[in-house]
Structure 1
Amino acid sequence: MSQRRLSEIVRDLVYKRNLLLVFIISIAVAIFVFMITFQIDKRSWFEKIDLISGEWYRVIDNYQNTLNFFVARPGDFKNPGDILEVLKLIREHFGDYIAYPIFATPDGKYYIYPPYDFPSDYDPRKRPWYRSAVENPNTSVISPPFTHRILGVVTFGISRAIFDKEGNFLGVLAIDIVPDRVMKDLLLSGMYVTSNDGTVLLQNGDIYVRLDPEDLRSSSEGFKMEISGVAFFKKKGEMFFVVQVPLLTFLRNSLFHLGYVIGLSLLFSVPIVRRITRLLDRELEKPLEKFSGAAEEYLRSRVFDIAGISSSIFEINQLIDNVADMITIIESQREELEASYEELEASYSELQKMAQKIEEKSKALSEAYEFFAYKLADIVEGFDEPTGSHVKRIQEISRFLAEKMELPSELVRQIYIYAPLHDIGKIKVPKEILNKKGKLTPEEWEIMKKHTIWGGELLSGSKELEVAKNIALYHHENYDGTGYPFGLKDDDIPIEAQVVKLVDVYDALRSERPYKRALTHEEAVKVILEGDEKTTPSQFHPRLIEIFKNYHEEIRKIWEKVSSE
């Protein structure tokens, strides 16, 4: 690996870090300016959208007011001549801003102005504008945009049901608005209007940032940025108003500020960096070069001469003095270290022997605790269980779940050893209660529940049995806080107790008792995952429930294998 002089490294570091700092500051400022200008531009474009959409809906209100006016004049819709006169007045009043005003009667007959003959199969009662008006008789209804049959352009239908003074339905009056004509003087350059499904209803100029239905469904207001530009959109009624801005126009302010900041930073930082570099050469590099030469001489001749080495940097002088003192101490102790080498070597050999003995004793103690656990398990099994497989099943399945939980290997080992002791406290429960054939009385049940407390007491007092104590004391606590003896919940319950709890419930469900039949594996799985009158999934750790659900077939195989041994 090639070596470089300190001055070169320092100079590179200073320049590089300074330029990096300038770059980071410039980017940060540019981002800050971009965010500000973006919010300002965003607000400005949304205000323009609000203004234009407000004008649009004022036009809509005007048409709705016209329909509402005729609702109060049902007499104008009694005979064909009056109906055509009404349609003619509407057409002359609004001119080309609307298409063909139409009035359709309940029997399917229609009147339109200017006169137009639809195909013989045309039935206005099947049109959306007619059905919407009938379904909403007390208000004017705007139907979705559609391509006008006669004009071939996109229009909106505004319709209103007409009733006479006795409440009899006379028909539906409808006006088709031509938005392209209404909005031609309102839309800004680059602005367009689209429906919920992305259909462009009208536009001013080319569309280079097109919104798809997914963009429109995600929000009623927002923006979309592409390489071609930025589009701001806002939903008004059943339409989306969109304003497009070229990307370069949108970013020009931020780019200007970025260049401005970088230029100023370079202008002021370069002279400062040069001055720092000269100062480091004089006060750091040269004193360290002399110091390095003195150290090399010491390695050759055991002479450390630091005369003439000085710097205005306090830390450099302190380093030189400290090293000189350290060398003096090293020299004074070197002979003592050499003289005591054999003694140290002998002491080290003795320590190794002692460490080996401690390790052997620790291993023996661990084995003794394991042997103690196995013997206690034999006692519990003979005291409470009619068969010899219960504690072995608890042991094997608990280890399986603990491994799937990815618990530490030492904790998995201890769960395997001490899981059989979960009911050790039952040796203090009176035999007449423990082996009672029928249902326990409330008083007897309270005594039975104390086996968890008694088990914790029997296994307390040794840190090596901490896991065993937790299993015995807490294996009837429920994750949702409904268990006993303390009503703990969530992760306040030691995980080793939660593992054994699920296994104990599964084995109890599958085991025959004087007061119950043994369930099949499928029945037991259903109880644990779906619950019954006594058991609910909320009583177990969610991760354990997930593992049980995914691996219950493996658990069944373990249970059946151990039971058959």
Structure 2
Amino acid sequence: MNNIKKAFIKIGFIYFLIPILLLSTYFSAKIYYMNIRNETNLIKTKIIDLKSIINLNLQNKVNLLNTVSDKIKSSDNVNINEILKTTYEFYKADIEYIFFADKSGQLYIYPEISIPKNFNFKDKKWYKYALKEEFSLTNSYADIEKTKIVITISKAVFNENKKLIGVLAFDLKYDNLLKILKTFNLKENENLYIINNDGEVIFNNSNVKKMNDLIKKGLINDFGSIKENGKTFYYAKINNIYLVYQFDDKNIIKKAFIRSISYFLSFLIIIFIILYLLKRYLIKEVISPINALSKIIKDFTLNLNKQKFEGFILPTSNLQEINEISISYSKLLSSVTASITNLKMLNNQLKLMYSTNEKINKTFYNFLSLINQIDNENLNIDEYFKSVLEHLILHIKEAKYGSMSILKDNKWEYIAAVGHDINILKSLNIPVNNFDFSDFYEAVKIITYNEIFEIDKENIDTEIYNSLKKATKKFEYAMLYSSKLEGCLLLISLETPDEKGFSNESKKIFKAYANLAKIFLNKKFEMTKIENIYFKFAEKLASIAEGHDDITGKHIYRVGEISAFIAEKMGYDKNFINKIRKFAPLHDIGKVYIPYEILTKKDKLTDEEWEEMKNHPLYSKKLLSGDDYFKEALNIALYHHENCDGSGYPFGLKCDQIPIEALIVKVADIYDALRDDRPYKKAFSHEKTVQIILKGDNRTMPEHFLPEILKLFEKHNKEINNIWEKINKFGGDINEFKI
């Protein structure tokens, strides 16, 4: 027995233990390096993400600097205080102070603060650095007590002759950068710095004021790393500043080493447990029986014949012990075979249960998905009904085709269909009054293909009947559901080519999805009411704003319809086109805050009056801001006087900064203003108006418009004229929102 035991131990050591130990060592080392690499890649990703966010915020502020600089140098008589005030009011969420220091020593600042008499801004870093670089980033305090830290971004302003006008600067709120930093969850011993080219720390999460020279000299590339005193500094260049991220290498190495050692020890423990269990198993189940059998075989070595038993060659003899071993093994094998068969059957049952549960889970998940879409205000009925039908066909095994329609005002309107020709169905003008759906209100009804078309044949004319039959896919049974809603009837039909029809389970699923469609439609009706109330109120305000020079009240409707026409030709979806049509009439709603005597003045406005008139886009914020529903309306009212070349007002934005809805309405507004009689001008003909917009005059230039819109205007100007003439002749009214 001892010889056999030693042989098994030797085999286990040579062929099992040593290779496993080597593999454990290899995989532990691999885990060690993989952990270091993963931690390093995570840090690189962190700094790249942070760079993108800070770069975006910084670029927005640089763009704002450039915009305000352009306004300051646009004229010698520009009102700097007004420019600073307007900019601050619009961007005060990000800016603590905005100030401009001209070359004569005058300092303009908003909001106004008390400045010490001995204050010399020319000694300040924000002033000196701005003269050297395209823009400068420094830090300072926003108060005398030095309790409120700000980051100052500044830029030198030069005139067309490259002569210095002054330096423009913003004090950016320090807390905004702290909020960005918090999202990156810096760990212990990790620090973040923003430094300029002089090594000055502009921003950090510690109290460091200056980076040492060794680190500063190492910042030579746009992205890289520096090692110093066991710490690694990753950095990324953003224009003329650096973002530096510092962490301790020792912590990463220690963490990776501990993890790899823990894996290695786990492997060893598992190996020794396995070896111990294997040893016990071999002694009990193999070595001892073999020795017992060996003793028996030794006693009966002569005249033994081998024979196959249940797939195994077993020793046989007249000895009862050997025969009992063979018989016992045979019984054991039969028992094991039976157990395996039972386990296979059980496994098949489990697979079937799993498949059924998976299908139920998928159905439930898709049902929840449709419920979540009910609150999506931008989802139209066509899309939602199509989605409901697709889910029904997916989860009701018998179903292959289906349709959903709304019956209203004696008109049968198909909304969505699967398997049928929806284009033909939508084109049919089917009268509703002849049909009776009362026998399946809020209930499910099963009906055959022939029964449906017999009813249709009795109630509609031959031409419509033939078109309906042509558009409908042949089926055996249809499952119908109808529901009375506010002013209409919802009808849902699901069809199957299966002669067995629909199961009771399918009917329950069908009714559940039908209820979803009904809830969605009811919600759309309620939203429509609210939207109409919203808009009717705004429409009245727009009429008041335009009443002084739009006696007929047609201007706002013409602008709305022409704007919607242009948006349609640009390829925008129905939802956007509808918003343009509804909100374009509100473009001058801010005029309700302009004094009446300015609005009705027939003579040329004074400079002060003109400046007040130019404020009406800003006044629109008082009426339209704070409500997401009026987001596009606010964009139109606020920016429709901006020009693509930056010569417009109130902000002097250029094309890529102006919302597309404002660019569209701008063309429609100018076209209508030129065509219409006003107290201060006579109406132009369509041809003259087109010439002015495309070629320009002393006020309007082609450069003011988006080139794409200008091309569409030129191509479709005759259609635009037809819209204008129709509304001018017959009047206009903003239609109710349609579902």
Richer in helix (by share): 1
TM-score by length of 2: 0.30
Q: Which has the larger radius of gyration?
A: 1
**Greater share of strand residues, 1 or 2?**
2
TM-score normalised by the chain length of structure 1: 0.39
